Amino acid sequence: MLRIETIQTDFLIVGGGTAGCYAAIVAARKDPKLRVQIVEKANIKRSGCLAAGVNAINAYITEGRTTQQYLEYARWDAEKIIRDDLVLSMAERFNESARDLERMGLVILKDANGNYVSRGKRNIKINGENIKPIISREVKKYDNISILNHVVVTNLLQDGDRVCGAVGFSTNYETAWVISARAVLVATGGAAGLYRPNNPGFSRHKMWYPPFNAGAGYALGIRVGAEMTSFEMRFVAQRIKDTIAPTGTIALGVGAREVNALGEAYAERYGLTTSGRARGATKETSEGRGPCYLKTVGLDSSREEDLYKAYLNMAPAQTLKWIESGERPSTHNVEIEGTEPYVVGGHTASGYWIDTARRTTVAGLYAAGDVAGGAPKKFVTGALAEGWIAAETVLKDLATYSPTSIARALELAKDKTNEYERRLRAPRGVYNARELEDAMQKVMDVYAGGISVGYRYNENQLAIADEKIGLIADLAEELSAADVDELVRVYELIDRATVCKTLLAHLRGRKETRWPGFGVFADYPEKDDAFECFVNTRNVNGKIQTIIRPLMEGVTYYEHTH
Amino acid sequence: MSILIESERCVGCGSCVEACPGNLIKRDADGKAFLKAPDECWGCASCLKECRFQAISYYLGADIGGRGGLMKYERDGDLARWIIRRAGRETVTITVDRRSSNKY
Ligand SMILES: Cc1cc2nc3c(=O)[nH]c(=O)nc-3n(C[C@H](O)[C@H](O)[C@H](O)COP(=O)(O)OP(=O)(O)OC[C@H]3O[C@@H](n4cnc5c(N)ncnc54)[C@H](O)[C@@H]3O)c2cc1C
Ligand code: SF4
Ligand code: SF4
């Protein structure tokens, strides 16, 4: 029999990553009596994007620069699809968030005057290898924060219109968890694994974004009818071939340029936005001038050693590759490629449609970090800033939410807890979660602009993809699980299919090509001013509605009107 | 992308089991750690860093250009040593001072 455990809390945080942990810290500091509950699928010590370590603080207002300049940079990079209020409110908190990280123990490089040393216009230099253990240590200092590790949330509980808790299950035991809360913050990160990845074989999880961030947070919101924005602004990253390690460290750090196989520098031809850079390598290769490289040959050996160390601090596979192959950056240019598309609101604008205070369109539900939309170029400090803002809003709103009894929460969760039990007991069906995941990734790759088709799609293909993903989602309803590990995979598949469905509606909604490096809508291959707007969606009784909203340039405060 | 765990070195402390962001490491009947699904490993090296007994090695899958080298991790106060071994080649050790920031 599946055991059922219950928790009653004030503030529930789903996902103990960067944004979730910081929201807990801020809430606990401001109100020591508040009960804060983090529920995390792995262990907050090394979960999510920060697990391997990070390279730099990518979002910082360096000496002499302003938050407005950061906004204009983000607007240029996103080809205008951006919310001023969201970017400015996070940018105002970048520097204080970084200082707080330093107080917690993060090593940040300083000059003789004690100022942080910048890398380019917006970055500061750190040793980010242990950034997640540092943040989780801080979380543990507060007695009013409870941490439930190794529990995966599958659904929100909703009483009438208001979100009042969540339900999930342990990844180690046959135990369901039903949590009643007065307010819920979703901070589960973005979605990887929607498309067939660069390395589809044995190393299929050697991808840039954490393969364990399966888009749960988006799916949670989609199910309760939360409005989503800009999923069509998929993120295709330019990364080092095979290890999918970041390229910025080489490009910014040692000034290496992108060159094609003929040795020609091509980047300027495609524009220097993130999308433009991703476009460059794809186009050069498809036109027969591949592969593409970062030109590192000639680098002196002392700098080579520093590169090895920098990669060990965030992407150790790359240093291992350099050393064991003997193909060092000073003697061999570093081959690059574009990744499969991700949906990730920390880099692009995809995610929940939130107000300035980080409220979603559903009462009682808040969003922060990669799961929240409208504010690209968020990175670590932006995720912290959003967690901070959301926590402050929750503290303000909490008085308006009365607690839901455990008995009521159990009743609301009953269908789900029964479903877990059913899947664990049912005999294996024809397919398992892994097989359906392969099917889903293939459909998305071929019909919805994945790597194999050069990120191109057309109306016909999107319609086919939609039908096929629908079939896979139906098959997923029948999936059983041999153990709790497989049960996790079943719900990841269901979440990913839900995200894919919404993504397809967004791709179909934006009938133009705005970010050619992220995707080309072959029927509408040019940018169209008529699409200087947000493409949003909402799930209404199982049907996805598309909502077009105007850009709000210059608007620094926004509240939902419903 | 994956890891290997040497059961002779593993003392069953469970640190790697706790740390893996994908919950991929389990313990067998003797309490020894094992990787349940090698093709689900992200290669984040969290387990490597958490293991104080150097029982875990990290390697690149052949499909991403691996040449059979194995990488281990050792902590010595603030120093982290990454040790790369490959049959027939000299062992390479790279020491990172965890108090010093990245140059790039
Ligand atoms: C490899 C990589 C390198 C990066 N490098 C840098 C860098 O050098 N500098 C920089 O500034 N930014 C960097 N970034 C970006 C930055 O790390 C992220 O934008 C930021 O950490 C996102 O925070 P988050 O809280 O939204 O997501 P995460 O920190 O990933 O947190 C999400 C959490 O939710 C949990 N979760 C997921 N699903 C569920 C569920 N169903 N139930 C319960 N919990 C769940 C996950 O386990 C995870 O702990 C990098 C990102 C990646 C992926
Ligand atoms: S490298 Fe990371 S993902 Fe792979 S087993 Fe170790 S902790 Fe888990
Ligand atoms: S951390 Fe090392 S010693 Fe401890 S269980 Fe894991 S492999 Fe074994």
Per-residue pLDDT reduced to its tens digit, A286-312: 999 999 999 999 998 889 999 999 999
pLDDT bracket for residue A42 (50, 70, 90): very high
Q: What is the tens place of the pLDDT at every residue in A430-466?
A: 999 999 999 999 999 999 999 999 999 999 999 999 9
Q: Report how many domains make up chain A.
A: 3
Domain positions in chain B: 2-97
The answer on A287 and A396 residing in a single domain is no
| Residue A18 to residue A13: CA distance in whole angstroms | 12
Whether A449 and A347 share a structural domain: no
* pLDDT per residue as tens digits for the range A135-171: 999 999 999 999 999 999 999 999 999 999 999 999 9
State the smallest CA–CA distance between residue B51 and chain A in angstroms: 13
A222 CB contacts (<8 Å, ≥6 apart)?
A: A228, A498, A499, A502, A539
Question: B-chain residues within 8 Å CB-CB of A309?
Answer: 94, 96, 102-103
Residue A1 has a pLDDT of: 87
Same domain, A268 and A326: yes
**Contact residues on chain B for A205, CB-CB shorter than 8 A:** 1, 22, 39-43
Query: Residues A445, A383: one domain?
Result: no
Percentage with pLDDT > 70 across chain A:
100
pLDDT recorded at residue A252: 82
Judge if A358 and A301 occupy the same domain.
no
The answer to whether position A91 is within a domain reads no
A371 lies in the same domain as A442? no
> Are A272 and A364 members of one domain?
no
Query: Can you give the pLDDT at residue A197?
Result: 98
| Model confidence pLDDT, tens digit, residues B22-58 | 999 999 999 999 999 999 999 999 999 999 999 999 9
pLDDT over 90 (residue A499): yes
Q: What would be the CATH architecture of the domain defined by B2-97?
A: 2-Layer Sandwich (3.30)
Residue A121 counted as domain residue: no
Q: Do B58 and A316 touch (CB under 8 A)?
A: yes
Which of A338, A371, A395 is at the close of a domain? A338
Q: Does A370 fall in a domain?
A: yes
Give the tens place of pLDDT for each residue, A332-361.
999 999 999 999 999 999 999 999 999 999
Residues A441 and A536 in one domain: yes
Residue A94 domain flag: no
Residue A236 three-state SS: coil
- The pLDDT of residue B13: 98
Helices (H), A105-215: 131-139
Does the pLDDT of residue A5 top 90, yes or no?
A: yes
Do A387 and A518 lie in one domain? The reply is no
Task: Tell whether A317 is within 8 A of chain B (Cβ).
Answer: yes
SS3 (DSSP) at B84 = strand
C-alpha angle A533-A537-A543 in degrees, rounded to nearest 5: 145
> Is position A64 within any domain?
no
Of A15, A136, A131, A65, the residue nearest A381 (C-alpha) = A131
Q: Do A286 and A198 belong to one domain? A: no
pTM recorded for the entire structure: 0.98
> Which residue range(s) make up the domain with A216?
3-57+128-233+342-413
Mean pLDDT of chain A: 97
In the prediction, which pLDDT does A562 show? 63
Nearest CA residue ID for atom 5, ligand 2: B41
Yes or no, beta carbons of A203 and B68 under 8 Å apart: no
pLDDT class of A272 with cuts at 50, 70, 90: very high
Q: Beta A456-457 vs A520-521: how paired, if at all?
A: parallel
Cα separation, A385 vs A400, in Å, equals 24
d(C-alpha A352, C-alpha A341), whole Å: 18
Residues A470 and A531 in one domain: yes
The confidence band for A253, taking pLDDT boundaries of 50, 70 and 90, is: confident
Average pLDDT over residues A277-282: 94
Alpha-carbon distance of A203 to A317, in angstroms, equals 12
Residue A434 covered by a domain: yes
Angle subtended at Cα B2 by Cα B71 and Cα A252, rounded to the nearest 5 degrees: 70
CA distance A144 to A159: 26
Residue A280: which CATH number?
A: 3.90.700.10
Task: Pick the last residue of a domain from A318, A338, A358.
Answer: A338
Residue ID of nearest Cα to ligand 1 atom 5 = A54
Give the number of whichever ligand sits closest to the CA of residue A387. 1
pLDDT at A278: 94
- Residue percentage of chain A with pLDDT more than 90: 98
Assigned domain for A95 exists:
no
Burial per residue of A247-275, b for 16 or more beta-carbon CB atoms within 10 angstroms, e otherwise: bbbbbbbbebebbbeeeeebbeebbebbb
Residue ending a domain, among A315, A338, A361, is A338
